[in-house]
Amino acid sequence: KQEVTQIPAALSVPEGENLVLNCSFTDSAIYNLQWFRQDPGKGLTSLLLIQSSQREQTSGRLNASLDKSSGRSTLYIAASQPGDSATYLCAVRHGSGGGADGLTFGKGTHLIIQP
Amino acid sequence: ETGVTQTPRHLVMGMTNKKSLKCEQHLGHNAMYWYKQSAKKPLELMFVYSLEERVENNSVPSRFSPECPNSSHLFLHLHTLQPEDSALYLCASSQAVSGRAYNEQFFGPGTRLTVL
């Protein structure tokens, strides 16, 4: 059974710092990996999607990398801002057959950017 | 706005009530999903519909009954729930290819359910 782990569980840093969030998964047979942010009481906003054949994706100040063979992904946030405060979730889509196309999520990293 | 809407946003119900959650997607997708988010637990996949056919039921109790009448609408019918079913229920959609859900998933804002 696929398991997704996110480290750290919580992080508080001053504004302007660059930071890295980590995600690991136990079964490397994934189809893709998606990073989301979730604001309190809200749904999920998709940040980046990395297909299993890709190594990284970039969107603005965000950069996500994927090392499928080692079961790891990182989300790099450059020049952090208070508006980046949220919970960041990592999720993998299964790559094998049988219609198992839902996402398996980690518990998330709760990020606070101090002004 | 992600193009996925959910109603109601908040719901309080007793254990003997019957209620339904509604999800609608305006993205032209053909795969839809229900997830459950409980406190201190990862989001859990409940059901997957691809091309209006249920392709996954992730060991969900029968007191939860999904319905997908067309590719734009998804319902979750609730009956005789338990207090431990209180959670945020999230709907998502994506574009399926050849019957298998394929690409990026977009989520609705969720329904916060409280079972008394």
> What pLDDT was estimated at residue B100?
55
User: Three-state DSSP class for A95?
Assistant: coil
> What percentage of chain B reaches a pLDDT higher than 90?
66
Contact B58, B44 (CB under 8 A): yes
What rounded mean pLDDT belongs to chain A? Answer: 91
- Candidates B34, B45, B58, B60: best to mutate against A (most CBs of A within 10 A) is B45
User: Which one of A43, A100, A107 has the shortest CB-CB distance to B108?
Assistant: A43
Burial class (CB in 10 A: 0-12, 13-18, 19+), B98: exposed
Average confidence (pLDDT) over B75-96: 93
Rounded to 5°, angle at Cα A14 from A13 and A16: 115
Residue A98: pLDDT band (50, 70, 90) is very low
Which is higher by pLDDT, A64 or B103?
A64
B56 with A101: Cβ contact below 8 A: yes
A107 with B101: Cβ contact below 8 A: no
By the CB < 8 Å criterion, does B81 face chain A? Answer: no
Residue B98: pLDDT band (50, 70, 90) is low
B103 with A49: Cβ contact below 8 A: yes
Q: Residue A99 — φ and ψ, nearest 5°?
A: 75, 15
By the CB < 8 Å criterion, does A3 face chain B? Answer: no
B48 with A44: Cβ contact below 8 A: no
Helix, strand, coil abundance in chain B, percent, nearest 5: 5, 60, 40
For A41-67, the pLDDT digits (tens) are 888 999 999 988 899 999 999 999 999
Q: Which residues of B touch A106 (CB under 8 A)?
A: 42
Kind of pairing between the strands at A109-114 and A10-14 = parallel
A101 with B90: Cβ contact below 8 A: no
What is the distance in angstroms between the Cα of B90 and the nearest Cα belonging to chain A?
A: 7
For B20-73, the pLDDT digits (tens) are 999 999 999 988 999 999 988 899 999 988 877 777 776 899 999 999 999 899
Average confidence (pLDDT) over A21-49: 92
What is the distance in angstroms between the Cα of B43 and the nearest Cα belonging to chain A?
A: 6
Q: Which residues of B touch A32 (CB under 8 A)?
A: 103
Residue A100: pLDDT band (50, 70, 90) is very low
Instruction: Count interface pairs A-B at CB distance under 8 A.
Output: 68
